């Protein structure tokens, strides 16, 4: 069942799955999930299994999953099983950040949404909480290429809470943290004052603030809203130590992947999928396992945050 009760803007109906619409209307917990990680970030057929598993983790915790994507030009919040399968298996799925949304909608294309476009569409559907693996940020050669993810801009202007394991470690983590500061994006460590490194527990960068419980995150969200701020809250949640990639292996893999990308002349939005795939192949699949563990961990925490924010999270 579909409802078009929300609109991105007049004329572009945002398709919100009925169970998502009802949960938002009733103030029950909902967590949004992105689809770029499914279509472009994870190898097939594991991508579809993971997409389904993430929805199941939420469901088991009493939270309504809302995976976001664009199917035949229709932006959907709460993809159905067939739509999810299509975005995971079709060969003509474009990677759509915010600026590609109008193109994908007008051309009636299938599109996977990034952190930026997922946050935008989720917020339009009234969803405040969102889980992913790692957010985009400043690429290492940004001083020459100007390559910065538009995730940063979206986080500056979209009042959602994004649970992530840091930024992708293929990026310039320090520069990304500086940009998040410039853009007034609230960043808080979950149970740590070390900014996590996506595949790693610790990126080597410090955080000034940490929280210890979902209830504390919910309190920060409430304060942000009470202050009338429109920026995102990034909850940096480290992968469990037993699931992290070996830090030494990680360092050599990333250096190798960056070299391969430069040699192959990869640029623009193809950079992230190329590097992730290179890491996957070069690590014999180990990077994939760490990636999946990080996402699971984030989805689990996002569920508890959404429950706390909805007032069903139990005692503080």
Footprint of Mn ion (CB under 5 A): 147
Q: Which residues of 261-296 are buried (b: 16+ CB within 10 A; e: fewer)?
A: beeeebeebebbebbbbbbbebbeebbbebbbbbbb
Size of the site for ligand PSU (CB under 6 A): 20
Give the Cα separation of 250 and 166 in Å (integer).
15
Pick what 41 binds: ligand PSU, Mn ion, none; C-beta below 5 to 8 Å, kind-dependent: ligand PSU
Residue pointed to by tokens 């409802």: 3
Nearer to Mn ion, 61 or 141 (CB): 141
What does 124 bind: Mn ion, ligand PSU, none (CB cut-off 5 to 8 Å by kind)? Answer: none
DSSP string, 207-259: -S-EE-SHHHHHHHHHHHHHTT----EEEE-PPPGGGSPPHHHHHHHHHHHHH
Site for ligand PSU (CB under 6 A): which residue of 21, 74, 179, 269?
269
Q: Which residues of 136-170 are buried (b: 16+ CB within 10 A; e: fewer)?
A: bbbbbebeeeebbbbbbbbbbbbbbbbbbbbbbbb
What sign does the CA torsion over 74, 78, 81, 86 have?
positive
Of 79, 96, 119, 149, the one binding ligand PSU by CB under 6 A: 149
Tell which positions 156-175 bind ligand PSU, by CB under 6 A. Answer: 168
| Least gap, CB of 242 to ligand PSU (angstroms) | 20
User: In sequence order, what are the residues at sequence separation of 6 or more whose Cβ sits closer than 8 angstroms to the Cβ of residue 297?
Assistant: 165, 237, 239, 240, 243
Residue 214 partner contact from Mn ion, ligand PSU, none using kind-dependent CB cut-offs of 5 to 8 Å? none
- 41 binds ligand PSU, rule: CB under 6 A: yes
Active site residue 95: no
Rounded CA-CA distance 97/236 in Å is 22
29 Cβ partners below 8 Å, 6+ apart? 23, 62, 63, 64, 129, 303, 306, 307, 309, 310, 312
Q: CB of 150: closest distance to ligand PSU in angstroms?
A: 6
d(CA 61, CA 279) in angstroms, rounded, equals 32
Among the listed residues 83, 95, 100, 168, the single catalytic one is: 168
Nearest-CB residue for ligand PSU = 41
- Tell me whether residue 272 or residue 283 sits nearer to ligand PSU (CB atom): 272
- Structure-block tokens of residue 260: 């391969």
Q: Which stretch binds ligand PSU (CB under 6 A): 43-51, 131-139, 174-182, 209-217?
A: 131-139
Instruction: State which H helix or E strand residue 86 sits in.
Output: helix 81-89
297 forms part of the interface with ligand PSU (CB under 6 A): no
Mark whether 269 is an active-site residue: no
Write each residue from 84 to 123 as x if it is in contact with ligand PSU (CB under 6 A), else as -, in one continuous string: -------------x----------------xxx-------
| Catalytically annotated residue among 34, 55, 83, 148 | 34
Name the packing angle between helices 286-309 and 214-226 (round to 10°): 60
Give the CB-nearest residue to Mn ion.
147
Minimum CB separation of residue 269 from Mn ion in Å reads 5
The reply on whether position 69 binds ligand PSU by CB under 6 A is no
Binding residue for ligand PSU (CB under 6 A) from 6, 37, 54, 96? 37
Residues with catalytic roles: 34, 168
Q: Which residues bind to ligand PSU, rule: CB under 6 A?
A: 34, 36-37, 40-41, 97, 114-116, 133-134, 136, 149-151, 168, 269, 272, 276, 291
């Amino acid at each position: 069942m579909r409802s078009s009760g929300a609109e991105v803007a007049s004329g572009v109906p945002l398709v919100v799955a009925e169970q998502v619409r009802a949960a938002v209307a009733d103030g029950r917990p909902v967590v949004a999930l992105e689809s770029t990680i499914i279509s472009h970030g994870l190898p097939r057929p594991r991508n579809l299994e993971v997409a389904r598993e993430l929805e199941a983790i939420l469901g088991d915790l009493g939270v309504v999953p809302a995976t976001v994507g664009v199917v035949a030009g229709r932006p959907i919040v709460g993809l159905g099983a067939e739509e999810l399968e299509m975005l995971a298996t079709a060969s003509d799925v474009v990677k759509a950040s915010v600026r590609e949304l109008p193109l994908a909608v007008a051309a009636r294309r299938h599109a996977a949404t990034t952190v930026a476009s997922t946050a935008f569409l989720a917020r339009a559907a009234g969803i405040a909480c969102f889980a992913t693996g790692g957010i985009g940020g400043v690429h290492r050669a940004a001083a020459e290429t100007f390559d910065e993810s538009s995730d940063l801009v979206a986080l500056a202007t979209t009042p959602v809470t994004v649970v992530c394991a840091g930024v992708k470690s293929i990026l310039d983590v320090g520069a990304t943290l500086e940009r998040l500061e410039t853009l007034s994006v609230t960043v808080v460590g979950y149970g740590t004052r070390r900014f996590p490194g996506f595949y790693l527990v610790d990126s080597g960068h410090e955080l000034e603030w940490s929280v210890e419980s979902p209830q504390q995150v919910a309190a920060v969200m409430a304060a942000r809203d009470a202050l009338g701020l429109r920026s995102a809250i990034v909850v940096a949640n480290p992968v469990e130590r037993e699931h992290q990639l070996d830090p030494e292996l990680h360092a050599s893999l990333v250096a190798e992947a960056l070299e391969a990308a430069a040699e192959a002349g990869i640029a623009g939005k193809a950079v992230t999928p190329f590097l992730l795939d290179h890491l996957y192949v070069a690590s014999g699949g180990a990077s994939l396992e760490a990636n999946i563990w990080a996402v699971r961990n984030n989805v689990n925490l996002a569920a508890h945050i959404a429950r706390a924010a909805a007032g069903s999270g139990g005692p503080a």
